[in-house]
Structure 1
Amino acid sequence: MSRKLVLWITASFAILGLMLWVLSLLWQNMRDGISGHGWAAYIIGGVLTLALSIGLFLLTFHSARHGYDDIDRPDERGEHDV
């Protein structure tokens, strides 16, 4: 993996962590709060969403760079094509 890709992945997880921290501060001010199971589900959902989006973007870029998205255009129709 390139350094740029590692930097992007690290930055994405850092932003995810920052969002979790800010939301935890907001939820602490609520009366009931959130249970341990709720936190686990919240963190797992965030990580899986981030991993899915990174994976799909990587597949898109890989496909475009290796020519899988190129359109194969048939040659002009000859006499034998009807």
Structure 2
Amino acid sequence: MTFELVKEILTTKGGLAPGPITPDASLAGAGVDSMALVVLSLQLEDRLGLEISEDDLSTAASVGGLAEMISRHAERRV
């Protein structure tokens, strides 16, 4: 899972502005709230077959960390 895909989901499906979404941005700083995490979780399941709860996603320290977490889950499925 690349940062670009996470950003694309958050902006197109989550309705967030792209500007604040950078790899180093905290989730709060990027505008990633609980609703955005729900959307991200649902999109990950629909697009990639990954089941990651919103609670787990919310533990990421940054948007880049979120992408890394998702990548780790994807690698475990292979």
Same fold per TM (> 0.5)?
no
Q: TM-score, normalised by structure 1?
A: 0.28
| Relative contact order higher in (CA < 8 Å, ≥ 6 apart) | 2
Q: TM-score, normalised by structure 2?
A: 0.29
Which has the greater radius of gyration?
1
**Structure with a larger share of its residues in helix:** 1
